[in-house]
Amino acid sequence: MEYFIQQTVNGITLGSIYGMIAIGYTMVYGIIGMINFAHGDIFMLGAFAALITFLILTAIFTSVTVVVALIVMMAVAILMASLWNWTIERIAYRPLRGSFRLAPLITAIGMSIVLSNFIQVTQGPRNKPIPQLVSQVYDVYGISISLKQILIVVITVVMMTAFWYLVNRTSLGRAQRATEQDRKMAALLGIDVDRTISITFIMGAALAAVAGTMYLMYYGVAVFSDGFTPGVKAFTAAVLGGIGSLPGALLGGLLIGLIESLWSAYFSIDYKDVATFSILAIVLIFKPSGILGRPEIEKV
Amino acid sequence: MNSDVILRVEHVTMRFGGLVAINDLSFDVRRGEITALIGPNGAGKTTVFNCVTGFYRPSMGMISMTQKNGTVCNLERMTDFTINREAKVARTFQNIRLFTGLTVLENLLVAQHNVLMRASGYTVLGLLGFRGYRDASKAAIENARHWLERADLLDRADDPAGDLSYGAQRRLEIARAMCTGPELLCLDEPAAGLNPRESLELNKLLRGILADTGTSLLLIEHDMSVVMEISDHVVVLEYGTKISDGTPDEVKNDPKVIAAYLGVDDEEVDEVLEEITHVTDEAQA
């Protein structure tokens, strides 16, 4: 039982990270109906921005408190990732908006390759380690919970609440939801649709950057190929939860995190990805629009 | 009633490949009046609307909008959101285009997005709880409530817009367009699919808009009783060309209009009949 709870805690931690990345996929899909394949690499870029910030911080100041370091790392990561995602949307997706549906998908894959190669060339292909930032581990009735895990879950909850508020309670969020439903009509009501879409990309990137910083803090390493696997997992999470749905993305992320860690604990670690994707396939057979996705109703 | 021109359409031609949807069309919409655009199916009425609201760029011609403060906007050169934000033109659609997933109130608040964004310092100041934003959002809700009352939807404010009845959706669409604070409102068949009672309510709403806000109306309509009752000025199109222009009474008695609506001359009818019998005979043989 203790083992089970321990694995559940690990799964929730991992799932929180997936969930935060998945929000970016699901928001962009919701508003312009395309999959931003470069989103996973934006996450990786966020991790690298945090890593470089950490190295600079430790080089300049001999002693930095961990809290300050984490906040600065996160802020720089958010800034860099937002800037990149905004630029990508501007140069690779916006000019193709009137084009056929596959065109921005292809440029998205291209942007993903560009980003990971750029990091590989500039930062080198090897794993970049950083020292353990947060090392406290608490023992709760025989289950060890590290402060890192608590931090990740708390930050996820805070970010999700902030996002929920932004999307559901502000004029910006209202404009985003309106644009999502009928872009042309939104424009006719005076909403600057292009700017709303840009802001959506920036918001998604900000969450991915926070996830990247958490990932770096949790595992202590970053490598240029990090964008791929967590990116694919987060995308899977978005589809599993119902693409286009914000709570769905978080739920999907948590489920995938749990499946992964529980499967590795009780069965074989080699087959954890097989398990994840099998469950995705099974869910999609019975609920094609995902767990919380709205089924598409065609009006005749 | 002052009669200065708010919208001037001059020599507008719209071609789609070989098809000429509008051919050298000119007409004026006067401020403070209800102008109706009528004509048989396929006459190009909706195309005119699409040119005015930036969906299409006319192949030739000019569409100029003169605002109350004297600013002149060339609508044929403007696109997308600037038509509403800068030129102050709003429109509704033949097939209703509400944000069905948003609530009735949210539909009206979305229309006031620009005011709210400016007041909230592009969300940032709003999130920090600045006073200006709270006042602006209170004013926006007050404005929305005003239009809900006029459209008789006050008790449905928190329902999803998609749950409303057809007539109510139409009224909501008009209320939403009015929330953007337009000077010219273009309505594409506002009475289509309404029952006589709803149609009457609609007339009242439109008359009220004109009387209280001074917003000029340009509408496409098939229902002749609506057109004759509420419009001050009627423009008749057939095959993309203007065939008549004047007060409802003048238009009603124009022989060209009668011909367009009731069909062709007697001789031509005979010709057509002959052709049909000929074809059926051949088929039987």
- Any domain includes B108: yes
Instruction: Determine, yes or no, domain membership for B231.
Output: yes
Q: Identify whether residues B83 and B185 lie together within a single domain.
A: yes
Q: For chain B, say whether A2 makes contact (Cβ under 8 Å).
A: no
How far is A104 from B210, CA to CA, in rounded Å? 45
User: What is the Cα–Cα distance from A231 to A47, expressed in whole angstroms?
Assistant: 13
Mean of the per-residue pLDDT values of chain A = 89
Q: How confident is the model at residue A90 (pLDDT cuts 50, 70, 90)?
A: very high
On whether both B35 and B146 belong to a single domain, the answer is no
Clarify whether residues B23 and B163 are in a common domain: no
Establish if A189 touches chain B: CB-CB under 8 angstroms: yes
Same-domain pairing of B32 and B172: no
CA geometry: angle at A60 spanning A54 and A65, to 5°?
60
Say what the pLDDT of residue B267 is.
Answer: 58
Residue B273, pLDDT score: 61
For residue B236, what pLDDT is reported?
86
CA distances from A296 to A25, A204, A242 (A): 19, 24, 11
Is A161 an interface residue toward B (CB < 8 Å)? no
CB contact under 8 A, A191 and B53: no
B221/B198 same-domain check? yes
Question: How many beta-carbon pairs under 8 angstroms link A with B?
Answer: 79
Nearest chain A residue (CA) to B178 = A189
Which residue, among A126, A143, A140, A155, has the nearest Cα to A218 in the 3D structure?
A155
- What's the gap in Å between the CA of B64 and the closest CA on chain A? 18
Which residue from B55, B99, B116 is facing A178, i.e. has the nearest CB?
B99
* C-alpha distance from residue A256 to each of A204, A238, A289 (Å): 20, 10, 17
Which residue type occupies A113?
I
Residue B277 lies in a domain: no
Is A174 an 8 Å CB contact of chain B? yes
Query: Do B69 and B188 sit in the same domain of this protein?
Result: yes
What is residue A112's predicted lDDT score, i.e. its pLDDT?
Answer: 93
pLDDT band at A157 (very low <50, low <70, confident <90, very high): very high
- The residues near B144 (Cβ < 8 Å, ≥ 6 apart) are B105, B108, B109, B112, B179
Name the domain boundary from B176, B195, B214: B176
B contacts of A166 (beta carbons < 8 Å) = 123, 127
Residue B275: inside a domain, yes or no?
A: no
Contact predicate B39/B236, CB 8 Å? yes
Predicted local distance difference test score (pLDDT) of residue A79: 95
User: Cβ contacts (< 8 Å) between B99 and chain A: which residues?
Assistant: 177-178, 181-182, 185
Burial B216-250 (b: 16+ CB within 10 A, else e): bbbbbbebeebbbebbbbbbbbbebebbbbeebee
Long-range contacts of the stretch B266-273 (C-beta < 8 A, 24+): none
Region of A200 (left: φ > 0; alpha: ψ -120 to 50; beta: rest) is alpha
Nearest CA in chain A to B115: A171
Count how many domains chain B has.
Answer: 2
Q: What is the pLDDT of residues A235-279, one digit of tens each?
A: 999 999 988 888 899 999 999 999 999 999 888 888 888 888 888
CB B191 within 8 A of CB B229: no
pLDDT at residue A143, as a whole number: 84
How many Å apart are CA A71 and CA A64, to the nearest integer? 11
> Do residues B70 and B200 both lie within one domain?
yes
Environment class of B94 (CB within 10 Å of its CB; exposed 0-12, middle 13-18, buried 19+): middle
Which among B84, B116, B117 has the least Cβ separation from residue A189? B84
pLDDT higher than 60, residue A299: no
Question: Is B139 part of a structural domain of the chain?
Answer: yes
Domain end, chosen from B125, B148, B176, is at B176
- Residue that the structure tokens 């043989």 belong to: B285
Is residue B61 within 8 A of residue B76, CB to CB? The reply is: yes
Average per-residue pLDDT for chain B: 80
Please give the residue of chain A at the shortest CA–CA distance from B52. Answer: A188
Cross-chain Cβ contact B137/A171 below 8 Å? yes
**Mean pLDDT across B144-167:** 84
Q: The tokens 């070989």 sit on which residue? A: B18
One domain for residues B109 and B169? yes
* Under 8 Å between Cβ of B50 and B240: no
The confidence band for B1, taking pLDDT boundaries of 50, 70 and 90, is: very low
Q: How far apart are the first and last CA of chain A?
A: 53
B137-150 pLDDT per residue, tens: 788 888 888 888 88
The token duo for A271 is 């087959």
Spatial neighbors of B129 by CB under 8 A, at least 6 apart, are none
Angle made by CA atoms A203, A205, A207, in degrees to the nearest 5? 75
Encode pLDDT of A173-218 as tens digits.
888 988 888 888 888 888 888 989 999 999 999 999 999 999 999 9
Task: Give B78's DSSP letter.
Answer: -
Q: Which residue of B has its CA nearest to A192?
A: B81
Q: Residue B36 belongs to what domain range?
A: 5-88+181-253
Looking at chain A, how many residues does it have?
Answer: 300
Q: Are strands B216-220 and B184-188 parallel, antiparallel or unpaired?
A: parallel
Q: What are the start-end ranges of the E strands in B17-133?
A: 19-30, 34-38, 60-66, 72-74, 89-91
Query: DSSP labels for chain A?
Result: -HHHHHHHHHHHHHHHHHHHHHHHHHHHHHHHS---TTHHHHHHHHHHHHHHHHHHHHHH-S---HHHHHHHHHHHHHHHHHHHHHHHIIIIIGGGTTS-THHHHHHHHHHHHHHHHHHHHHH-SS-EE---S---EEEETTEEEEHHHHHHHHHHHHHHHHHHHHHHHSHHHHHHHHHHH-HHHHHHTT--HHHHHHHHHHHHHHHHHHHHHHHHHHHSEE-GGGGHHHHHHHHHHHHHH-TT-HHHHHHHHHHHHHHHHHHHHHS-GGGHHHHHHHHHHHHHHH-TT-SSPPPPPPP-
- In terms of domains, do B162 and B118 share one? yes
pLDDT at A295 over 80: no
A35-66 confidence digits (pLDDT tens): 899 999 999 999 999 999 999 998 888 777 88
Radius of gyration, alpha carbons of chain A: 19
Section A119-148 average pLDDT: 87
What pLDDT, on the 0 to 100 scale, is given for residue B2? 46
State the pLDDT at residue B264: 60
Segment 112-131 of chain B within 8 Å of chain A by CB? 112-114, 116-117, 120, 122-123, 126-127
Interchain CB distance below 8 Å, B110 and A191: yes
Q: What is the pLDDT of residue A102?
A: 87
B:158-217 residues touching chain A, CB 8 A cutoff: 176-177, 180
In this structure, what are the phi and psi dihedrals at residue B111, rounded to the nearest 5 degrees?
-65, -15
| B83 and B9 share one domain | yes
Residue B268 forms contact with A (CB below 8 Å) = no
Q: Are B67 and B73 in contact (CB under 8 A)?
A: yes
Q: B43 in a domain, yes or no? A: yes
Cβ distance of B127 and A170 shorter than 8 Å: yes
**B240 and chain A in contact, CB less than 8 A:** no
Domain contains B268: no
- Residue B278 falls inside a structural domain: no
Q: Which residues in B lie closer than 8 A to residue A187 (C-beta atoms)? A: 80-81, 84
- Position B24 scores a pLDDT of 87
How many whole angstroms separate alpha carbon A160 and alpha carbon A151? 14
pTM of the full structure = 0.84
Q: Which pLDDT score, from 0 to 100, does residue B145 have?
A: 87
CATH number of the domain residue B84 falls in: 3.40.50.300
The whole-number pLDDT of residue A298 equals 55
Complex ipTM: 0.77
Give the C-alpha separation, B17 to B1, whole Å. Answer: 42
* Residue A80, pLDDT score: 94
Most confident of A27-31, A73-77, A238-242, B220-224: A73-77
- Asked if pLDDT for residue A27 goes beyond 60, the answer is yes
Q: Give the model confidence (pLDDT) of B35-51 as tens digits.
A: 888 888 878 888 888 88
Per-residue pLDDT, averaged over A157-179, amounts to: 88
B99–A177 CB contact, under 8 Å: yes
Please tell me whether residues B169 and B190 are part of one structural domain: no
Does one domain contain both B193 and B70?
A: yes
Q: Which residues, 6+ apart, have CB-to-CB distance to B107 below 8 Å?
A: B98, B99, B161, B172, B176
Q: What is the pLDDT of residues B64-89, one digit of tens each?
A: 888 887 777 877 777 777 777 777 88
B89: nearest CA partner in chain A = A188
* Spatial distance between the Cα atoms of B98 and B218, rounded to a whole number of angstroms: 20
